[in-house]
Structure 1
Amino acid sequence: MPTNYERAFAERPDVLAAWVQLNSAVKAGMDLRRYELATLAAARRLRSSYCCLAHGTVLAEQFGEPVREIALDHHAAGLDEVDVAVMDLAERVVEDATSITDGDLQHLRDLGLSDTDIMDVVLAAAARCFFSKTLDALCVEPDASYRDIEPELREALVVGRPIADA
């Protein structure tokens, strides 16, 4: 059975295929956990329930992360300084990319990230803008299967559109 986002792209399967290719290329260059943290930060700032639920689930299931705490306040969730800086950068890309300075990027370099690592975070956040905004502009609700997530976690990840009834 296709997901709600797959149904949304039924009129433009070529665009969905291009999105999958782009997203796969971005993800392939990154540590998966870092990708998921950056994507969750971007999705929260975009108020994309669908993407928060999808990527929060990956963080919880594959990495055992305290996703509820991260979603509510990643600064107080026990993440290391690099993870916090990555999430902050992803949020800034969504919020106002023009406000990012070379000094901001230097801070990430000082924490040990390479210019490629930094670009990967920017790419993950910028790509999330396309996908999340497309879903929300088409009124796509997160799949009903997300109702099975623990209620407190679900509440922290539903930041925009509600989960579909069926």
Structure 2
Amino acid sequence: MFLQTIAEDEAKGRVAEIYSAQRAQSGMVMEAIRCFTARPDLLPAYMDFVMQARGNFSLSQRDWRIITFIAARDIPSTYCSHVYGRQLIDELGSRAAVLAVQRDHRNAGLSERDVAMLDYAEKITRDASRITIDDIGRLRDAGFSDTQICDIALCASFRSFVSRFFDAVGAVPEDAFLDSDEEFRTAMTVGKPI
């Protein structure tokens, strides 16, 4: 981390509560959390937003992860690619399936629904100014409601913000997210080297 942040043993108030909850949930306080404490007032606001966005997400947790993974590839975010790539191994069935999605989600054996969702997420991440009503029509044709389309846009756009912030302040993936398979680890390193 490039910036001075609040250490666990120095955390107080809401920051201490957030750190404690994350340690209980994942066994660590991720740099993705700690980096916000260079401005301690932002961590609670960030966590409140994340809890609201994810807690009321109209799609599945798998959808959140795969949208995030595609966005991370195109940002490019090594941190988020490692974190979400590891999480998707079980959900997609194998490292090979995750790598296939990363290489080309259109030819990775995903459903038409997934491809439409990821096409939209990809376009948002690469250049949201190119989104047209036709893109929204394709999503509606694939069965997505306007609330779900909003959530896809929110997820991809949110990842574009936080992943760039993580890189800008020097957050790096924790060892727990670095896969033991060298090919997979190399493929997840899409941006900043580890």
Fold match by TM threshold 0.5: yes
2:38 partner amino acid: E
What CA deviation, in whole Å up to 9, does each residue of 1:64-105 have, x standing for no partner? Answer: 352111112111111011111111111111111111011110
> Which residue of structure 1 aligns with residue 151 of structure 2?
120
Q: Which structure: larger Rg? A: 2
Alpha-carbon distance change, 101 to 157 in structure 1, aligned in 2, over 3 angstroms: same
Amino acid at match of 2:41: D
Change (3 A) 1:148 1:42: closer
Other-structure match for 2:186: 155
Displacement of 1:47 after TM fit?
0.6
TM superposition shift of 1:25:
2.1
User: Is 1:10 equivalent to 2:37 in the alignment?
Assistant: yes
Higher relative contact order (CA 8 A, sep 6+): 1
Deviation at 1:132, TM superposition (A): 0.4
- The residue number in structure 2 matching 1:103 is 134
In 2, Cα distance between equivalents of 1:130 and 1:25: 17
* Contact 2:82-2:178 within 8 A present in 1 as well: no
> Number of residue pairs matched?
163
1:44 aligns with 2:44: no
**Shift of residue 23, structure 1, vs aligned partner:** 2.2
List gaps (5 residues or longer) in structure 2: 1-27
RMSD across aligned positions (CA)? 1.7
Write the letter of the residue equivalent to 2:182.
Answer: P
> Secondary structure of 2:173's match?
coil
**1:34 equivalent among 32, 47, 63:** 63
User: Which among 48, 51, 63 is matched to residue 21 of structure 1?
Assistant: 48
Work out the CA distance in 1 between the residues paired with 2:192 and 2:90. Answer: 23
DSSP 3-state at the match of 2:118: helix
Q: Larger deviation: 109-118 or 83-92? A: 83-92
Q: CA deviation at 1:62?
A: 4.3
**Cα distance per residue 1:23-51 (max 9 Å; x no partner):** 22222222111111111111111010111
- What corresponds to 2:3 in structure 1? none
Residue 93 (structure 1) aligned with residue 120 (structure 2): no
Give % identity. 38
Separation in 1 of the partners of 2:52 and 2:34? 23
Contact 1:23/1:127, CA 8 A, preserved across alignment: no
